[in-house]
Amino acid sequence: MLEVAPELLGRTLVRTAPEGRIELRITEVEAYAGESDPGSHAYRGRTERNASMFGPPGHAYVYFIYGMWFSLNLVCGPEGTASGVLLRGGEIIKGADLARARRPKARRDRELAQGPARLATALDVDRALNGTDVCAGPGAPLSVLQGHPVPAHLVRNGPRTGVGGEGATHPWRFWADGDPTVSPYRAHVPRDRRKQASSDGA
C-alpha cells in the first residue's frame, strides 16, 4: 500500500463513458492500511459498504460521503486484506470540455479535479463503478495507464488530510511537488463541523 501510493503519481487515469473520454494525470493520493488503520473505512472490519476494499487488487472502491459526494480509491492489497489508495487530485490532460461541463463552478482548469470529490465529479464517478477492474485495459469504464511516473526526488509526503486520532500523524499522503492541482492540506476537525468531502479517505 505504501509502495503503490507514490508510484501512482504521474500515472494516467482514464474514464470512458458514453459522453466521451477523460484522461487525468494523478498528482495526489493518500494510502489507507485497512483493519490496522484507524483512519480507514475497514478499521472495524468488513461491511457491505467497504466490501470492495477486501476484494482483489486493481479494482475501484467508490463510496458516497455526507450524502453529497463520491470518492474514488484503488484497492492495492492481496484479496481478503483491506487496503486502498484514495485519489485526491489530478490534472485533466484530455477531455477538459467534458470535465468543465460537470464542474461548472471551477474557476480554473487546475481546480477541475483538485480534491477527491471534485475528481470524482469531473470524471462522473459514482457507486455504479464500485468494484470496477481498472487493469482491464482499453474500453473499460475506468482504467489506469502507465503515464509518466513522477520521479522519486519530486514526490513529497505528509499527514493525511482530515484524519484524526491515532492515524493523524501517519505521513501517508503523497503528492507531486509544486503541482498546482494538488489540494490544500486541512487538519482534522470534528465531523459535524466539516463542510467538504475532501478530507475522508478509504
CATH number of 4-193: 3.10.300.10
Note whether 74 and 34 are within 8 A (CB): no
pLDDT (0 to 100) of residue 111: 97
pLDDT (0 to 100) of residue 191: 61
Report how far apart, in Å, the C-alpha atoms of 56 and of each of 30, 63, 125, 128, 201 are: 19, 17, 20, 18, 19
pLDDT (0 to 100) of residue 202: 65
Is this structure's pTM higher than 0.85?
yes
- From the list 25, 166, 197, 168, the residue with the least C-alpha distance to 95 is 25
Q: Which three cell numbers stand for residue 146?
A: 502507465
- The rounded Cα 27 to chain-centroid distance in angstroms is 10
pLDDT tens for the chain, 202 residues long, are 789 999 999 999 999 999 999 999 999 999 998 778 887 887 888 888 889 989 899 999 999 987 889 999 999 988 888 889 999 999 999 999 999 999 999 999 999 999 999 999 999 999 999 999 999 987 899 999 999 999 999 999 999 998 888 888 899 999 999 999 999 988 877 665 444 444 455 6
Phi, psi of 160 (to 5 degrees): -75, 150
